[in-house]
């Protein structure tokens, strides 16, 4: 069974001896925006007296925050919802809520498939949870809150954070791009930017609370400010955030290669705190496929962009997302992608089997690629990328890298873990002098595909 989310709350279920204490737990699937929505949902539950528990059977409120970007996620989530049915039979007062992209897409259909669900919360309705809980407690009936679109920016709500060192801060919601494979614009609505001052203020406050690293979130962060005249653009926002004294590092997710411009690259180059890591999802190394995907750039454009970044910030890392088996992808076109990743030399690539999402243009394109072929291609791509990632990591052996201590390694409590400005995960044997959130120097002595290992140096 998958594990529930962990929060940075002081009180554990063991301490909550009060027999009237109500507990909640959450499970989150999908992207960082969804993870952050769960923090806002959990914060609202805490504000009305619920405490977090890891024990499913102890919870009187279970939230599943869902993703529908690929069919595989949906299947997993339906399995999870099914598992909760017996809990509900044994405890009829248990409240089960489904939030996120699947809730937005499937709405009341979810009640039909799983009548043991109590609340369905759309992506534009996250801030309403407190009212929805009251409604279900009073009426004991199904409660559906799914707006088609956000009329305005959602108000701030109490939030509890999952980490202690690193925190997520949304800067914009929605996406206007309509890549032909992607469901996101249909379930997250049009682009809406948060006011620059609100973002800066929130980051300043998080710094005061002890957070060292901030990740700015948006489906397409480079579109920041385009929907209004008031806040400047993404580079202006980065400049403002770079000046926040209470924090040490700033990351951002996700960039669209078409929209990242010279001003952004220059801002990062001249900044003190913006990390030297570019995540630029290329999706395919074939111009034919890029066109069918409606990505709005060619491989040559992407090559030039990478050249520009590497000239400006030579040690920056570069990661990407790639979809294999998009409709019309022949063996020859797939080989173009394979050649492209070798040519660029990405530090890492997140690779996905194309998944047909009904309602998107690609779902009805002819020449869908058979699953077995997709799987074969994915394996080839992963093998090639793993070799590249390992070679890049091997070049880091012997170097000393600055890492912010995030905590114990999930697998070994005698080891600590943290990340470099280039977003490499580093593990080392705990010396006991390190403090969570501290910037330390680690001399790298072992390279693996996804991680680096080393030792603490003074």
Please report, as ranges, the residues that interact with ligand SF4 according to CB under 6 A: 175, 177-179, 182, 184-185, 219-220, 256
What are the two backbone dihedrals, phi and then psi, of residue 291, each rounded to the nearest 5 degrees?
-65, -45
**Sole binder of ligand 5AD in the list 61, 173, 181, 224 (CB under 6 A):** 181
**Sole binder of ligand 5AD in the list 194, 357, 377, 424 (CB under 6 A):** 357
Closest CA to 184 of 158, 223, 156: 223
CB 457 within 8 Å of CB 400: yes
Q: Which entry of ligand SF4, ligand 5AD, none binds 220, CB below 5 to 8 A by partner kind?
A: ligand SF4
Could you say whether residue 323 binds ligand 5AD (CB under 6 A)?
Answer: yes
Least Cβ distance, residue 218 to ligand 5AD (angstroms) = 13
Cα–Cα distance, 305 to 320 (Å, whole number): 13
Least Cβ distance, residue 253 to ligand SF4 (angstroms) = 11
Strand residues in 365-438 grouped as ranges (E):
400-409, 412-419, 425-429
Q: Which entry of ligand SF4, ligand 5AD, none binds 177, CB below 5 to 8 A by partner kind?
A: ligand SF4
Angle, CA of 43, 45 and 50, to the nearest 5°: 120
Q: Which entry of ligand SF4, ligand 5AD, none binds 175, CB below 5 to 8 A by partner kind?
A: ligand SF4
Cα–Cα distance, 284 to 295 (Å, whole number): 10
**Sole binder of ligand 5AD in the list 40, 46, 70, 194 (CB under 6 A):** 70
Could you say whether residue 279 binds ligand 5AD (CB under 6 A)?
Answer: no
Q: Which entry of ligand 5AD, ligand SF4, none binds 193, CB below 5 to 8 A by partner kind?
A: none
CB 374 within 8 Å of CB 192: no
Q: Which residue number, 179 or 305, has a Cβ lying nearer to ligand SF4?
A: 179
**Sole binder of ligand 5AD in the list 354, 418, 428, 452 (CB under 6 A):** 354
Could you say whether residue 374 binds ligand 5AD (CB under 6 A)?
Answer: no
Q: Which entry of ligand SF4, ligand 5AD, none binds 289, CB below 5 to 8 A by partner kind?
A: none
Rg (CA), the chain: 23
Q: Which residue number, 46 or 357, has a Cβ lying nearer to ligand 5AD?
A: 357
CB 383 within 8 Å of CB 356: no
Cα–Cα distance, 81 to 64 (Å, whole number): 8
Angle, CA of 12, 18 and 20, to the nearest 5°: 110
Q: What is the DSSP string of 360-373?
A: SGGGG-S-PPPHHH
Q: Which residue number, 26 or 28, has a Cβ lying nearer to ligand SF4?
A: 28
Q: Which entry of ligand 5AD, ligand SF4, none binds 417, CB below 5 to 8 A by partner kind?
A: none
CB 325 within 8 Å of CB 372: no
DSSP-derived 3-state class of residue 13? coil
Cα–Cα distance, 285 to 206 (Å, whole number): 39
**Sole binder of ligand 5AD in the list 211, 334, 352, 428 (CB under 6 A):** 352
Q: Which entry of ligand 5AD, ligand SF4, none binds 321, CB below 5 to 8 A by partner kind?
A: ligand 5AD
Q: Footprint of ligand 5AD on this chain (CB under 6 A)?
A: 69-70, 181-182, 281, 283, 321, 323, 352, 354-355, 357
């Amino acid at each position: 069974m998958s594990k529930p989310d962990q929060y940075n709350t002081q009180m554990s279920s063991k301490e909550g001896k009060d027999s009237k204490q109500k507990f909640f737990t959450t499970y989150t699937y999908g992207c960082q925006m969804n993870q952050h929505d769960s923090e806002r949902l959990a914060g609202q539950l805490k504000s009305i007296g619920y405490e977090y528990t890891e024990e499913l059977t102890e919870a009187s409120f279970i939230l599943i925050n869902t993703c529908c970007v690929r069919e595989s996620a949906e299947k997993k989530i339906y399995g999870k919802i099914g598992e909760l049915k017996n809990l509900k039979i044994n405890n009829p007062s248990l409240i089960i809520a489904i939030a996120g992209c699947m809730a937005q897409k499937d709405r009341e259909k979810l009640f039909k498939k799983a009548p043991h669900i109590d609340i369905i919360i759309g992506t534009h309705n996250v801030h309403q949870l407190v009212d929805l809980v009251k409604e279900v407690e009073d009426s004991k009936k199904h409660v559906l809150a799914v707006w088609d679109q956000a009329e305005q920016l959602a108000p701030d709500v109490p939030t509890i954070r999952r980490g202690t060192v690193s925190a997520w801060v949304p800067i914009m919601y929605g996406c206007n791009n309509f890549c032909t494979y992607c469901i996101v614009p249909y379930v997250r609505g049009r682009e809406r930017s948060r006011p620059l001052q609100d973002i800066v203020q929130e980051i300043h406050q998080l710094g005061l609370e002890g957070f060292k690293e901030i990740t700015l979130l948006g489906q397409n962060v480079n579109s920041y400010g385009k929907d209004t005249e008031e806040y400047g653009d993404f580079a202006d926002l980065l400049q403002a955030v770079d000046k926040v004294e209470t924090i040490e590092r700033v990351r951002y997710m996700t960039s669209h290669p078409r929209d990242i411009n010279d001003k952004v690259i220059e801002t990062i180059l001249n900044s003190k705190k913006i990390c030297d890591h570019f995540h630029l999802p290329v999706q395919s190394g074939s111009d034919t496929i890029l066109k069918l995907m409606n990505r709005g750039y060619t491989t040559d454009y992407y090559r030039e962009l990478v050249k520009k970044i590497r000239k400006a910030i030579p040690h920056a890392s570069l990661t990407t997302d790639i979809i294999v088996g998009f409709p019309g992808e022949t063996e020859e076109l797939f080989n173009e992608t394979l050649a492209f990743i070798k040519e660029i030399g990405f530090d890492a690539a997140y690779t996905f089997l194309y998944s047909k999402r009904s309602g998107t243009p690609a779902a009805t394109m002819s020449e869908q690629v058979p699953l077995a072929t997709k799987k074969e291609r994915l394996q080839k791509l992963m093998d090639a990328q793993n070799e590249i990632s390992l070679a890049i990591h091997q070049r880091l052996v012997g170097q000393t890298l600055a890492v912010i201590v995030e905590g114990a390694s999930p697998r070994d409590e005698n080891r600590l873990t943290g990340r470099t400005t280039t977003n490499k995960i580093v593990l080392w044997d705990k010396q006991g002098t390190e403090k969570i959130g501290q910037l330390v120097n680690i001399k790298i002595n072992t390279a693996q595909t996804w991680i680096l290992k080393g030792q603490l140096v003074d």
